[in-house]
Amino acid sequence: MQAAGGWISDCRVCDVLAVSRAFGDWEFKGKGLPTMLANGVENEWWDQAFANDIRFTADPVIVTPSVSTTQLTQEDEFIVVATDGLW
């Protein structure tokens, strides 16, 4: 995310997005990025000079999930399946 030109502030992507909403927020992808910057200026989250300095090189939020796998054994009693939105 930071390599793409985004930033984290107050535990939010670009001061705005809670990560659990990442799949549906078009403002953080492609042609929506200028809208996100303009909305930040309009809502006084940052000033125009700050927005002018931002150079996105890619989408700061992607929809590719982080997935891990674990081999269950006879000793395993239960498994918890969750998403980042739950935690």
- The model's pLDDT over 34-87, given as tens digits with 9 standing for 90+, comes to 999 999 999 999 999 999 999 999 988 887 777 888 899 999 999 888 776 666
50: containing domain: 1-87
Strand partners, 9: 12
Number of domains in the chain: 1
Torsion, Cα of 79, 87, 6, 31 (10° steps): 80
pLDDT at site 42: 96
* Higher pLDDT, residue 1 or 85: 1
pLDDT at site 74: 94
- The mean pLDDT value for 14-27 works out to 72
Exposure letters 53-85 (e unless 16+ CB within 10 A, then b): ebebeebbbeeeeeeeeeeeeeeeeeeeeeeee
Tokens 């929506």 — which residue? 32
Residue 51: C-alpha distances to residues 2, 48, 58 (Å) = 15, 5, 16
